[in-house]
Chains A and B, each alone.
Chain A
Amino acid sequence: MFPAKRAVLALALAGTSAAGLAATPAATTAPRLADPVASYQIVCRLDPEKRTVEGSLQLTWKNTTARPAPTLRFHLYLNAFRNTLSTFRQESESARRHTTIPDSWGAIDLSRLTLSDGTDLLARLAYISPDDGNPHDRTVAEVSLPRAVAPGETIALSADFVSRLPRVSVRTGWKDAFFLVAQWFPKIGVLTDAGWKCAQFHANSEFFADFGDYDVSLEVPAAYRGKVAATGVLAEERPGADGRLLLRFRQSSVHDFAWAADPDFLVFEETFREPGSSDVALRLFLQPEHRAQKERHFHAARVALTGLSRLLGPYPHPTLSIVDPPWGARGANGMEYPTLITAGTRRFAPTAGHSPEQVTVHETVHQYFQGMVGSNEVEEPWLDEGITVYVTERILAEAYGNPRPILDVFGWRGTLGIEMHRPLDTSRSAFGPLARGAVASPSMAFSSREAYGAVVYRKAALALATLERLAGREVMDRALRLYFERWRFRHPSSADFVAAFEEAAGADWSFFFDRTIFQDGALDYAVTEAATAPAESPRGVLGDGGEPVAPTARRGFDSDVRVERRGTIALPVEVVLRFEGGRVFRDRWDGQGLWKRYRFGGWPRLIDAVVDPEGKLLLDLDRTNNGLRTRPDARAAARWTARSLFWTQNLLDFLTVAW
């Protein structure tokens, strides 16, 4: 940091330094839930005019691996917005996350980096690009240490930095007086026995970090009084110099710290209570034009926390803040940070659309899968996004009904009365041509944001929903609980999830995970033939000789059914054949072969044959070919043809209205 600026900051933060704040009386905060690996004390100052955050931090980092660490790696995420040559901008091309990326440059610059003994590390800092070798990318920096950090050893570092925020386009930045300050401070990577996990800032990737304790002091203009949302608990608030405001937030056992400020926020608070859980202060920071949606956000957060508490265990933190970014900052919508989530809504959001509810529930579920179960979002994003979508769909289905009408205006459901079924109908994008690639792929493996979303979010969720239907909900719930309890505040991998599931199920399910999670492929079962005809006796020359025998009628019918596996994914599947008189034949086909034939002689007339009648295999690409009836029934097609005729006549009239 430049000396003059440093002096100003020192004055502004007088009495609020990290050391000074550490000496203040203990603030309200939750007990520590995890052994801290990377803990931060940060003191910083927001300059809304310059759109900068100047700060100093003290990092305490522990080498938890079995090998010494001669270097340290840091994320400098904001440098993704430094220029158009950064890996993020190159991968983004020109647009992503609903909005065009404006040429508003962000950056993070370090002006001091020292060890606790004062040893300067800044001169030893070099920008590296471990993922793609891009020489222009500055989102990862490596520092060689004068002495390697021994296994189990803890070191402390100090740094001064200036973060220049970009106009909100992706996750972080400003829009007018609104600030979402995320990925904003120098953040150490995760050291594993296999080396550093410190990915560059990519277009599709999210984040990965170690757990620790955060003690962050913010200095903001007085206009933001009561309008600042942040990770953790507000432990202290007092006036600063020049009418500014000093706020101190603390939170243990988290892996990130984000905050948001907007003088226009409407702030609401209520307490969430659930038997067996500590009270949680729900704080909603809402845009004025969304005032009418207050209860919808709170309700969504309540049903999410209730569902999660019952499925996995109590939410352990004392707060959960919901931030509603303003219009023009949609790139900041729908993000999860520890104890702070950003919502996503519109001025008019029909209740049937469940748009704000879905986002709020989804991000709240992330408090568990990502916030507590700290999987690597870069290398195995399905572990948090796929599981989160799956759990979100379950919570939404229970809370808001399933199926639900697609159009509902003041209770009127529209002439078509179309209904959406969770999770299948809401995850159909997974069946598009973009959905190529194995679910357990790293985020950089996908060609586009759409492909990433289709596979990592939707296909993964459908695979888990399929798994639930095959193994049973009890097994699934047990597995999720086991996985959560075993891996909260740790870093699991896909193999750990599989192990937890198999332990809960008490069986080997590798056949399922190998084919649906770890390999690319398509699943499609079809009934390709279903025929029935009055049974006939054998004809032709029977026995050793003599005249051919003419056919004679027999009792019953001869029926012939063929089912096929058209996709590359083979899973066990049920086949049901219904006969007249209520007779039913059921078979559990292992699904391994390309086809299977069923022949029945002398049975009642076959009515229809259906593969996967209960719709367990939600990954089935084409469910319209899952059954055949032997006698056509034209009722549905006739009615839809009539509807088509009617609306075509109407559309033709509309077409000529203007001229």
Chain B
Amino acid sequence: MSRPSALGSFARGVGASISKPYLAVALWLIQLALAAVLVLPLGNALHTLLDRDPSSDRMVARPDYGWWETVTRVHPDVLGALPEAVTSLLSPEGLRSSQVSTLRGAGAAAVGLGALAVILHAFALGGLLGTLREPQASLVTFGREGLRRLPAFLAFTLAAVAGALTAYRWLFVETGAVMARRGLELATETQVLLITLGRLLLLGIALAAIKLLVDSVRSIWVARPDLPPVSRFLAGVGAALGRPLRLLGVLALWGVSIAGLYGLWLFLDPSAGGEARLALLPLIATQQVFVFLRCLLKVGYYAAVSEVLTRAPAPEYAYLPRPEGAASAAPAEPPTPDSPPDAASV
């Protein structure tokens, strides 16, 4: 059997995603619900500030830098120091914990939302990977599988978050602090920029490795319920180490396709030009179609990773009606969530 290429895997993953569009719909709904938590207070604040402002006419078509600057300065309760916190993420000093305490309003809500997003991400991936292995599945399968995998997937996700933050701290913030002291002694800014590029590349590689490792563990966790948990975890790590280039290839293809999607969005720029370009409802529809397409690609990526790691996608255990004659072999009780499937269903 020939090894599937990264491109082939990614293409088949996207195909699988398209064949089960409710997975992308589920992701889209989760993100929409999460974003609504933040956008509702922000939208109310915007209506309060803009609806009776005669100068809001010009804000329909294009942003007014002065207006936004004034709002963030005069109404710190709306965003708090969120823009500063976001920009400091890529500063040599990095994001300081003291900055979190300066957040107010939507800025503070965004941090809470981020934490909630991590948990829901763990749930969604459990549902997604479980559902991808079911030949006949539905949104119900997604919810069931998501909840079933949540404890383990949450642990993996939090470990990955901790790993990513550690990588950020030591590969970006700490090296940035060293560069802040020594970089000025280099001969040219070009040298400093190259070193910074190297730091970013290193961070990117570390984050990619963490991501591929945790995605591999997740995939094997779902694909090999016959193994004890520790073995499943180790098999996941081993699978990632066994196929690093193909996994990296799938990740790169996903990144390129997402970048292409954003490039297209920025080129077409549906938000610009105000109502002359798109009325409000068509604009919202266009935006949400974009988000849905992005979710579709995301599901495709996970399907591709699952395929690269398990080669032959098969249901973990079937919920299909058993063939006649096999009834006597059926267990008296349905399988417990993490019990291994019986031989007939594999």
A24 at the interface (CB under 8 A from B): no
Is A327 in contact with B65, judged by CB distance below 8 angstroms?
no
| Distance, CA A297 to CA B292, complexed state (A) | 47
Of B132-140, B156-164, B318-326, B335-343, which stretch is located at the interface? Answer: B156-164
Is B70 in contact with A636, judged by CB distance below 8 angstroms?
no
| Distance, CA A435 to CA B264, complexed state (A) | 43
Instruction: Assess A658 versus B160: contact at CB under 8 Å? Given A417-B272, A632-B52, A637-B50.
Output: yes
Q: Which residues of B contact A26 (CB under 8 A)?
A: none
Among A625-646, those with CB < 8 Å from B are 626-630, 632-646
Is B70 in contact with A346, judged by CB distance below 8 angstroms?
no
* CB 8 Å contact bits of A572-592 with B (1 = contact, 0 = none): 000000000000000000000
Q: How far is the CB of A36 from chain B (nearest CB, A)?
A: 40
Is A289 in contact with B189, judged by CB distance below 8 angstroms?
yes
Is A347 in contact with B193, judged by CB distance below 8 angstroms?
yes
Q: Which residues of B contact A649 (CB under 8 A)?
A: 31-32, 35, 291
A621 at the interface (CB under 8 A from B): yes
A623 at the interface (CB under 8 A from B): yes
Is B65 in contact with A637, judged by CB distance below 8 angstroms?
no
* CB 8 Å contact bits of A284-313 with B (1 = contact, 0 = none): 000111000000000000000000000000
Q: Which residues of B contact A624 (CB under 8 A)?
A: 49, 53, 55, 67, 70-71, 74
Select A425's contact among B38, B69, B271, beta carbons within 8 Å: B69
Q: Which residues of A contact B49 (CB under 8 A)?
A: 624, 637
Q: How far is the CB of A248 from chain B (nearest CB, A)?
A: 31
Q: Which residue of B lies closest to A331 (CB)?
A: B184
* CB 8 Å contact bits of A601-627 with B (1 = contact, 0 = none): 000000010100000000001111011
Q: Which residue of B lies closest to A102 (CB)?
A: B184
Instruction: Assess A418 versus B65: contact at CB under 8 Å? Given A624-B74, A655-B114, A656-B118.
Output: yes
Among A82-117, those with CB < 8 Å from B are 99-100
Is A644 in contact with B211, judged by CB distance below 8 angstroms?
no
| Distance, CA A636 to CA B60, complexed state (A) | 4
Q: Which residues of B contact A645 (CB under 8 A)?
A: 32, 35-36, 39, 43, 284, 287
Q: Which residues of B contact A644 (CB under 8 A)?
A: 38-39, 42-43, 46
A326 at the interface (CB under 8 A from B): yes
Is B272 in contact with A656, judged by CB distance below 8 angstroms?
no
Instruction: Assess A637 versus B51: contact at CB under 8 Å? Given A656-B118, A658-B164.
Output: yes
| Distance, CA A608 to CA B43, complexed state (A) | 23
B314 at the interface (CB under 8 A from A): no
Is B157 in contact with A642, judged by CB distance below 8 angstroms?
no
Is A327 in contact with B187, judged by CB distance below 8 angstroms?
yes
B87 at the interface (CB under 8 A from A): no
| Distance, CA A530 to CA B118, complexed state (A) | 46
Q: Which residues of B contact A608 (CB under 8 A)?
A: 54
Q: Which residues of B contact A627 (CB under 8 A)?
A: 53-55
Is A641 in contact with B62, judged by CB distance below 8 angstroms?
no
| Distance, CA A16 to CA B177, complexed state (A) | 49
Is A639 in contact with B60, judged by CB distance below 8 angstroms?
yes
| Distance, CA A659 to CA B214, complexed state (A) | 7
Q: Which residues of B contact A639 (CB under 8 A)?
A: 59-60, 271, 274, 280, 283
Which applies to chain B's interface (DSSP): helix, strand, loop or mixed?
Answer: helix
Select A622's contact among B43, B70, B191, beta carbons within 8 Å: B70
B333 at the interface (CB under 8 A from A): no
B344 at the interface (CB under 8 A from A): no
Q: Which residues of B contact A518 (CB under 8 A)?
A: none
Among B52-80, those with CB < 8 Å from A are 52-57, 59-60, 62-63, 65-67, 69-71, 73-74
A519 at the interface (CB under 8 A from B): no
| Distance, CA A628 to CA B53, complexed state (A) | 5
Select B54's contact among A622, A629, A634, beta carbons within 8 Å: A629
* CB 8 Å contact bits of B203-223 with A (1 = contact, 0 = none): 000010011001000000000
Is B51 in contact with A658, judged by CB distance below 8 angstroms?
no
A657 at the interface (CB under 8 A from B): yes
B84 at the interface (CB under 8 A from A): no
Q: Which residues of B contact A610 (CB under 8 A)?
A: 54
A562 at the interface (CB under 8 A from B): no
| Distance, CA A622 to CA B73, complexed state (A) | 9
B95 at the interface (CB under 8 A from A): no
A176 at the interface (CB under 8 A from B): yes
Q: Which residues of A contact B180 (CB under 8 A)?
A: 100
Select A327's contact among B66, B186, B214, beta carbons within 8 Å: B186
Select B42's contact among A326, A419, A421, A641, beta carbons within 8 Å: A641
Q: Which residues of B contact A637 (CB under 8 A)?
A: 43, 46-47, 49-51, 56
Is A419 in contact with B62, judged by CB distance below 8 angstroms?
yes
Q: Which residues of B contact A653 (CB under 8 A)?
A: 31, 294-295, 298
A552 at the interface (CB under 8 A from B): no
Instruction: Assess A638 versus B280: contact at CB under 8 Å? Given A328-B184, A655-B114.
Output: yes
| Distance, CA A361 to CA B188, complexed state (A) | 24
Select B65's contact among A406, A621, A638, beta carbons within 8 Å: A406
Is B193 in contact with A636, judged by CB distance below 8 angstroms?
no
A497 at the interface (CB under 8 A from B): no
| Distance, CA A176 to CA B186, complexed state (A) | 9
Q: How far is the CB of B284 from chain A (nearest CB, A)?
A: 5
A414 at the interface (CB under 8 A from B): yes
Is A636 in contact with B189, judged by CB distance below 8 angstroms?
no
Interface centre among B189, B193, B269, B283, by most chain A C-beta atoms within 10 angstroms, is B189
Can you offer 22 A-B residue contacts whose CB atoms are under 8 A?
A327-B188, A328-B187, A347-B193, A406-B65, A415-B269, A417-B62, A419-B65, A623-B55, A626-B55, A629-B54, A633-B56, A636-B59, A637-B51, A639-B271, A641-B39, A641-B46, A642-B280, A644-B46, A645-B39, A652-B34, A655-B117, A656-B121
Q: A327-B189, A415-B269 are in contact. List 5 more A-B contacts (CB 8 A).
A: A432-B73, A530-B52, A642-B283, A642-B287, A659-B161
Query: B interface vs A, CB < 8 Å?
Result: 31-32, 34-36, 38-39, 42-43, 46-47, 49-57, 59-60, 62-63, 65-67, 69-71, 73-74, 113-114, 117-118, 121, 157, 160-161, 163-164, 180-181, 183-193, 207, 210-211, 214, 265-266, 269, 271-272, 274-275, 280, 283-284, 287-288, 290-291, 294-295, 298
